[in-house]
Amino acid sequence: MKCFWRMKCPKCPPAKELLANSVNVEYHNVDEVDGLAEAAFYGVLSTPSIIVTEEDGKEIRSWHGEIPGQGEIQKWLMQ
């Protein structure tokens, strides 16, 4: 799972907090070059963006500019 965030985004802290106790989450700050490059690869245009990927990196579910509900995200974290 990937979480794309920005320093000045008011929705990003709650999105990061939602995933804080999860394993296998990559956090990408799109204010930095590496984070921006990863965001460009996945077509991320808004923050926060949370993307669920398969092991090979293929996107299977995403939320862009919004924070999913706890129940909705838990379903994907269990996989």
More confident call, 15 vs 79: 15
When divided into structural domains, the chain yields a total of 1
Distance CA 23, CA 68 (A): 17
The two tokens of residue 13 are 């802290």
Within 8 A by CB and 6+ apart from 71, the residues are none
9-68 residue pLDDT tens: 999 999 999 998 888 899 999 999 999 999 999 999 999 999 998 888 889 999 999 999
Find the largest Cα–Cα distance for the chain: 33
Q: CA 60 to CA 21: how far, in whole Å? A: 21
Quote the domain boundaries for residue 21.
2-77
Q: Which of 1, 26, 16 has the alpha carbon at shortest distance from 47?
A: 16
CATH of the domain at 51: 3.40.30.10
| Pairing outcome for strands 2-5 and 59-64 | unpaired
Note the pTM of the prediction, 2 decimals.
0.89
